[in-house]
């Protein structure tokens, strides 16, 4: 029997049907850019949702080595993982602390973000048993998602009966309309948060995530919390995106086929060809986060946004043809020279040639969802390419 291990080394990335390339140099440069834009404020790094789909281990370590010392994760599991790669960092857990998770917080030096009266009551009980331990307070200034009511948070700051062991190291809030710089909601929340920050004098304050950083120094306070901008996504509507692309998603061409004019493509005959066409069938579908709503037809979104998604191959953008299916997408490559695309080639789904937010708009969503929806079937490669 042939021993393939002796003469063949399997390159998983080179042979993968779906590939994600994560440019760690672009990631860290984006963080440094946001740190500069944060002025006197310290820039944290938000690495929740597996670092927006890029991999919390590699992305977290790269950001830590670049100088980030404050991180935000969504769950205690993410915090435990990140601690291995950011040993001296302060790691805030946005979901807060719940019964049964105390030991993991303490053993991994994680900081809970307290966001409700129920969590606050539980945290006070924990402190009674364990003693002094830092936390952060999340205060609602108008978002109406998470956070202590503003007046309750201010009253807590002045409550002389609160335990001495209750020692928040950060008070924070979140902007509802930071991506819309014309929204009056931004100034309303800013004024509300100033009241909270003043009540907690001497304790660090944080209001601005990526979008808020671009609103200017009034919103920066002591710490900013860039997230989507680190990964190359747009933070502000209607503004040219200054961030470097970080993630490139590609899918392998399984087959190139020629189809006659008048024939239809994919489920539901959603696309009828008006010319003889060449089609490239690639190994990505909605099970991989390449959303069905990007289909060229046969989906409700096309009634609102006429144009569907595009791929990039052989130096050109090519449109999706027909409906995207669970594991496969069809691209129309008729306008490319014959022979320009062959089975085994790769089509870029988004990356340096198709911005992730452009792909998201074709799907009726946002770059955040595109990045975090990339499935487990993608083989990742990490590079550190410098311009």
The yes-or-no answer on residue 317 being catalytic is: no
Angle at 105 (CA atoms; ends 51, 194), nearest 5 degrees: 70
The yes-or-no answer on residue 267 being catalytic is: yes
- Check 64, 267, 317, 382 and give the catalytic one: 267
- Check 8, 32, 40, 48 and give the catalytic one: 48
Instruction: Point out the residues that are catalytic.
Output: 48, 267
């Amino acid at each position: 029997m042939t021993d393939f291990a002796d003469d063949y080394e399997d390159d998983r990335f080179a042979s993968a049907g779906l590939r994600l390339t994560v440019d760690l140099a672009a990631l860290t440069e984006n963080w440094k850019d946001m740190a500069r834009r944060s002025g006197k404020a310290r820039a944290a790094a938000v690495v929740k949702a597996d670092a927006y789909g890029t991999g919390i281990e590699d992305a977290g370590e790269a950001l830590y080595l670049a100088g980030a010392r404050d991180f935000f994760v969504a769950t205690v599991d993410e915090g435990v993982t990140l601690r291995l790669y950011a040993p001296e960092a302060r790691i805030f857990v946005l979901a807060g602390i719940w019964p049964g998770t105390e030991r993991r917080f303490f053993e991994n030096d994680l900081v809970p973000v307290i966001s409700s009266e129920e969590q606050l009551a539980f945290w006070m009980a924990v402190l009674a048993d364990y003693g002094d331990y830092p936390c952060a307070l999340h205060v609602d200034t108008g978002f109406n998602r998470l956070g202590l009511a503003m007046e309750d948070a201010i009253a807590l700051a002045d409550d002389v009966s609160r335990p001495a062991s209750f020692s928040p190291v950060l008070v924070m809030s979140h902007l509802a309309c930071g991506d819309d710089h014309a929204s009056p909601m931004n100034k309303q929340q800013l004024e509300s948060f100033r009241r909270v920050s003043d009540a907690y004098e001497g304790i660090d304050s944080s209001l601005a995530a990526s979008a808020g950083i671009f609103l200017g120094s009034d919103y920066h306070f002591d710490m900013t919390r860039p997230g989507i901008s680190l990964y190359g996504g747009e933070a502000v509507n209607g503004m040219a995106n200054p961030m470097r692309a970080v993630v490139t998603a590609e899918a392998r061409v399984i087959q190139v086929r020629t189809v006659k004019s008048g024939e239809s493509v994919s489920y539901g005959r959603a696309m009828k060809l008006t010319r003889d066409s060449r089609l490239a069938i690639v190994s990505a579908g909605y099970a991989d986060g390449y959303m069905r709503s990007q289909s060229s037809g046969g989906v409700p979104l096309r009634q609102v946004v006429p144009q569907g998604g595009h791929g990039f191959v052989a130096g050109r953008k090519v449109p999706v043809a027909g409906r995207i299916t669970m594991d496969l997408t069809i691209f129309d490559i008729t306008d490319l020279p014959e022979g320009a695309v062959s089975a085994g080639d790769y089509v870029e789904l988004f990356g340096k040639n198709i911005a992730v937010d452009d792909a998201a708009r074709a799907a009726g969503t946002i770059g955040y969802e595109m990045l975090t929806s990339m499935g487990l079937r993608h083989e990742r490669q990490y590079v550190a390419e410098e311009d």
